Structure formats: C-alpha cells, structure tokens
Chain A
Amino acid sequence: MTGDLAATAARLSAASRRAYQNPYEAITWPDAVDRDQWFTSPELISLYGTPAWDGLDERARRELSFWEAVNFYSLNIAGERALMEGLAARLYRPGLEDVAEYLHHFLDEENKHSVWFATFCLRYAGKVYPERKVAFPRDYVEGEEDLLFFARVAVFEEIVDRYNVAMGRDDRLAAIARRINANHHAEEARHLVFGRRIVEHLWRRHSPGWAAETVAGVRAHLAAFVEATWREYYNPEVYRDAGFADPWAVARQAWEHPATVAHRRELGRTCLRVLRAAGVLEP
C-alpha cells in the first residue's frame, strides 16, 4: 500500500466522521408529493431532445420527471447494493488493510444513501424498479477483480454525481428531490476522491505484471460497463408508468437518438477522464 493512498484514506475518514449524519433525521419527508412539480431536471430526462419528448405537454413532462427520478434512485439502490457487497468483501483483505477504516465509512454512507433513495421510491411511487443484471462467474488474474470492482464503482459514481450536482442546485425541482441530490453529492465527493486514488493505485500495482490480453480485456470490460451503465437510464418501465403505449420502442428510439448520444458523450467525459488519468484507459 502506498503512503499516498493510506494518507488519503485517513483524511477522508476524518472528513466522514466530521460530516456524520443520522439518515433518519437528515431529510424531512413530506407525506405526499405533488407530481405536477419537476423531480428531474428536464435536460437530464432520458427522452429530452427526442421526438417522444417533443410530443409531451408540460404536465406529461413533469409526470415523466417523477418516474425518471424513481428510476435514477432505483439505479442508485442497485449500484449501492453491489458496492456494499464488494466493500464488505474487501474489509481487511490483505493489501487493503490501510484503507479498511475508510471502507467502513464508505459502507456506512452508501447504506444511508440507499435508505434515502428507497424511502422516496417506496413512499411516493410504491416500488423500486428491479434491475436487469446477471453476473456470469469467471476467473481473474491477481489484482484484476479488485481493479475492475473499484473502476466500475468510479464509473458509476462519476456519472451519478454529474446528475446530483446539477439537480442539487436546480430550483425548478421539488424540494425533496433537490435535497436528496444535494445530500448525495456532498457525501459522494469523498467517495469520488477515494475511487480515483484506489483505481490509480491498483492499476500501478498490478497491471505491469499482466499479460497484454488481460490489459486489453480490462479495457474492453470497462468500455462495455460504461455503455451498460447508461443503458439502464432508458428504462421502459419508466415510459410505461408515464403513459407511453409502446415503452420498449420508446426506450430503443431514445437510446439511438443523436440527442441522447451527445448527452451521454458529454456527461460521460468525466468518468472516462478519470480512467485515462489513472492509466486504465489509453489516452
């Protein structure tokens, strides 16, 4: 373990202790929400800029923004569940002892975030959207599984944070949506710092000993992960709940539309820059 990473983890642990929150007191939950408000910034709604969006009136767009928020929070719940499983499995693992204290904070904070996201989904929508994911068992060379785990976490959180930052300060949004996004960003800022450092550390430590095909496989996996992460933002169940007659066609057409391709390219720049800066992706 390099001293730099251990020092970063110690600094982040101290910051987490100072910012410690009771998840049941941090947010005041109204009994109900008015769905005639915005819950997702219009520009961040998955259909924005497509013919499907153009065909909606203002009221329907706001209704869609509610279900988009439910999907965004559901994605976070699924992502954080996988994250918590991975973090718990790595507590005190040889080679990661120096960051174990911070992993406890990371776990604690992700659990709190899931409480917030699930409270919104269950209280106001009556459900959490299920994820469409299956993990196929496979073998890894030394260090590959840890690198992929933390790199996937970094990709997921960097994309989510772009949404959180924008929506945490968007005055058009319902107060509860603004608060959830702002709170999540405040804590994720520490996770992003840790993610960038540990990905860089693991890449430098392990990749020099990997065969060229392993390096190529890691890069291909992460490129595919970025696309798979984005794919889940185009959820047919959202479009069905928002009243679309053929939600799968809407999802497919939205995914392929040039406006959404440009949106993903713009918002995905940060996570790709992080992976390139760590050396994981080629410049």
Chain B
Amino acid sequence: MTARTEAELRQALRAWVRAHSPVPVGDGFSDDTPLIASGHLTSLQVTDLLLFVEELRQSPLDPASLRPGAFRDVDAIYATFLS
C-alpha cells in the first residue's frame, strides 16, 4: 500500500465519521468538531474505528494509547494514531 499523506488520512477519517455517525453530520463538520460530545462517535463504535485506523496505518495500535481523549476529534485521532 502506498503511504498516504496527512491530508489523505484526515480526509479518510472525516469520511469514516460521516459514514458511521449515528446523528447527521452538518456542513460545518471539521477536524476539531467534538466527536463524542456531539454524538458523532459512541464507545460502541470504537472497535470499528480502530480497525479502520489500523488499516490506514497498516500496523496494530498500542492498547495503552486507548483513552477517551484520543477520540475527542479528528485532530486527536490523527495525532494519537497516525502522525
């Protein structure tokens, strides 16, 4: 797999949220939109999201990095798992 740029990775994360959010994602959705507080991400979706992130980075995640703050917004997910 060809390495993806930061912009491509962020775009992939935003697309995942748009596809899986239990509530509608508005036009104002951005990388610093709170995911948990706004209902775009629930704890039960974390497994699915992490598998997606692992596929993006092509390596497993460190379980010690799994804390609620890592899923605050797209910025946090990128910084924690993909940067």
Contact = CB atoms under 8 A, between A and B. Distances in A.
Nearest to A131: B63
A133 B55 contact: no
- The size bracket of the interface on B is 20 to 34
A231 B43 contact: no
A106 B13 CA distance: 41
Given A131-B63, A236-B60, A248 B51 contact: yes
Interface string B46-70: 1110110011001011010011101
Given A132-B61, A133-B66, A134-B68, A224 B42 contact: yes
A245 to B, nearest CB: 11
Interface residues of A, number: 24
A136 B22 CA distance: 15
Given A248-B51, A248-B55, A252-B51, A134 B46 contact: yes
The 9 closest A-B pairs by CB, nearest first: A248-B55, A130-B63, A224-B44, A228-B44, A132-B50, A136-B43, A132-B47, A134-B46, A231-B47
22 contacts: A130-B63, A132-B46, A132-B47, A132-B63, A133-B46, A134-B46, A134-B66, A134-B67, A135-B68, A136-B42, A221-B42, A221-B44, A224-B45, A228-B44, A228-B45, A228-B48, A231-B51, A232-B47, A240-B60, A246-B1, A248-B58, A252-B55
Interface of B: 1, 22, 36, 42-48, 50-51, 54-55, 58, 60-61, 63, 66-68, 70-71
